[in-house]
Amino acid sequence: MKLYDGGRAPNPRRVTVFLAEKGIEVEKVPVDMGQLGHKSAEVTELNPLQRLPVLLLDDGTAISETVAICRYFEELHPEPPLMGTDAKDKAIVEMWSRRMELNFLAAVANAFRHCHPAMKEWEVPQIAQWGEVNRPKALGFLEMLDGELARREFIAGDRYTIADITGMIAFDFMKPARIERPEHLTNVMRWYQAVSSRPSAKV
């Protein structure tokens, strides 16, 4: 098994942190996304959408999509559970995982991809107005989240999950996306401090 990795970009990092939390080591094939390595013939063969990471199984099956790769490892190594335990808990974790991804990470990524000069060749065409409207979307989501985090320790309950991983990485990604950290949201800041202090955040 080999993981085609894209380093510090948000999606590759989500899988890296997930594996660190599970204590799983996987052979990595580093791909330099700065040199557009994700558009190489080798990666395109594994993922026609030219996105990383991609997990290549020993039987030749290629799994792409961050959460699908995490699902594979969660099924094989259920402990510690990062995607929920019973039906209700799995549904709650999936709800929050999706909210963090679709309403927060996606907003931050849109701001980055459509406004940052370095993304000119990645996002064609860049539509600055679309990037701009995503900044208040991301911050509005964090305001809602602050109320939620007043009532519990982690995003999806009292246990750290994949929703915290996505949230932490989206929060870090606000910097290149030029979205100011909302220091007044004390519950969000307390949560961010906690999750980014875990050993998994350092990998």
How crowded is residue 117: how many other Cβ atoms within 10 Å of its Cβ?
6
CB of 93 to a second copy, least distance (A): 8
What DSSP state is assigned to residue 86?
A: S
Select from 52, 62, 14, 60 the least CA-distant residue to 30: 52
Q: Does 65 interact with a second copy (rule: CB under 8 A)?
A: yes
Q: Does 48 interact with a second copy (rule: CB under 8 A)?
A: yes
CA 15, 20, 26: angle at the middle one, nearest 5? Answer: 70
Q: Quickly list DSSP for 44-66.
A: HHH-TT--S-EEE-TTS-EEESH
Given the rule CB under 8 A, which of 3-11, 60-68, 178-186, 188-196 is the region that contacts a second copy?
A: 60-68
CA distance linking residue 33 with residue 31, whole number of Å? 6
CB of 198 to a second copy, least distance (A): 25
Q: Does 63 interact with a second copy (rule: CB under 8 A)?
A: yes
Please say which residue, 68 or 118, places its beta carbon nearer to a second copy. 68
Given the rule CB under 8 A, which of 6-14, 20-28, 33-41, 90-98 is the region that contacts a second copy?
A: 90-98
CA distance linking residue 155 with residue 124, whole number of Å? 34
Footprint of a second copy on this chain (CB under 8 A)? 48-49, 55, 57, 61, 63-65, 67-69, 71-72, 75-76, 86-88, 90-92, 94-95, 98-99, 103, 125, 127, 129-130, 133, 144, 147
